[in-house]
Amino acid sequence: MTDARKIALTWKIRESLRTEGFDICGIAQASPHHEDSNHISEWIAAGRNGSMTFIERNLDKRGDITSLVEGARSVIVAGLRYFSNEPSAGSDNYFVSRYARVRDYHAVMEEKLDRVQKIIKKLVPDSSSRVFCDAGPVTEKAWAIRAGLGWRGKNSLVINKDIGSFFFLGEIVTTAEFLYDYTSARDRCGDCTLCIDSCPTGAICNDRTIDARRCISYLTIEHDGNLPGEFSGRTENMIFGCDRCQEVCPWNKKAVHYTDKELVPEVSLTSLTRRDWQNMTPDDFKKIFRSSPIKRTGYKMIRRNIDFANYGSPEKG
């Protein structure tokens, strides 16, 4: 492909990503990065994945993105802001992570990226591509950094100097060729340790990873079974996720409410009172959360989280 054609194609794809409402995007050259799977292996060996054993599968693929699409040349990474500036939960309310106060991002991101994928196919008819969003063996944060979207903060999240860290990530892995963003964003955490100091459960490790077994997000969303007694009282009023290490990050000071209409939820979760949550039946739950990521966690675990926030653990701490 000529350079002129690559420039034109890159411009068109960036334009179509903007039209879809993505706030940031970048394109990296697809190639194996076995250091990604090595890091995950070390994290797993330390037991920090908790019961998320699905991460142990396909480690070889996590280290080689070209194994996901035969002949892959490019990884397009896009970010969509989801910060919402409604007040966080008060005493008559429970806390729900901001990412769950909007429509289930998996569907929103995949639909947007799928439309861009179709444009690539039209422009490069012999190309093949796949869309990923928080599914499949893609090391999303590492690819976002390679595509120049930001750096890995000490809280393990990708931080962009303009929009902070409250954004969803999605990728298109494709055989089409583009101009690449080779400039990885520099680390701007400096001497700051606010996220580490503010984590209620000491879950942030000193190598920019999280020990899932101590993280309230993992415990309230992914972990099956009783919540560990040692965290009684430390999850405060959080019943789905925890944004603390993002809320305190100086790079999120300028975060503004999302603007993408496709993210607007069917039900405003911040309007639900403690009484609403406590009186919710399984049928109510299904109706209220049918287009929310909360439905994936399920009624039983949300009830468990409410009990834990109210009364602590049945286990001894």
Give the position of tokens 């039983």: 300
Instruction: Tell which one of 69, 173, 216, 302 touches ligand SF4 (CB under 6 A).
Output: 216
224 has catalytic annotation? no
| 248, 273, 276, 298: residue in contact with ligand SF4 (rule CB under 6 A) | 248
* Cα 142 from Cα 55, distance rounded (Å): 15
Does position 227 interact with ligand SF4 (CB under 6 A)? The reply is no
Question: Of 17, 210, 227, 239, which lies in the binding site for ligand SF4, with binding defined by CB under 6 A?
Answer: 210
Tell me the one-letter amino acid at 131: V
Please enumerate, as own/partner, the contacts of 34-40 that have beta carbons within 8 Å and a separation of 24 or more.
34/63, 34/64, 35/63, 36/62, 36/63, 36/139, 36/142, 37/62, 37/63, 37/64, 37/139, 38/63, 39/209, 40/139
Does 84 contact ligand SF4 by CB under 6 A?
A: no
For residue 93, give the 3-state DSSP assignment: coil
| Site stretch for ligand SF4 (CB under 6 A), options 142-150, 215-223, 266-274, 283-291 | 215-223
Contact at 8 Å (CB) between 44 and 55? yes
Q: Per DSSP, what are the bridge partners of residue 169? A: 79
**Whole-angstrom Cα distance, residue 150 to residue 141?**
9
User: Which of the residues 64, 114, 134, 276 is marked catalytic?
Assistant: 134
Contact status, residue 72 vs residue 65, Cβ threshold 8 Å: yes
Dist. CA 96–CA 90, nearest whole Å: 11
Among 44, 59, 123, 192, interactor with ligand SF4 by CB under 6 A: 192
221 binds ligand SF4 (CB under 6 A): no
Diameter of the chain measured on Cα atoms: 67
- When binding is defined by CB under 6 A, the residue of 250, 265, 298, 312 that contacts ligand SF4 is 250
Binding mask of the shown chain, residues 144 to 173, with x at each position contacting ligand SF4 by CB under 6 A: ---------xxx---x--------------
Q: Which stretch binds ligand SF4 (CB under 6 A): 80-88, 108-116, 195-203, 264-272?
A: 195-203
Chain residues in the site for ligand SF4 (CB under 6 A): 153-155, 159, 189, 192-195, 199-201, 203-204, 210, 215-217, 242, 244-245, 248-251
The catalytic site residues sit at 134
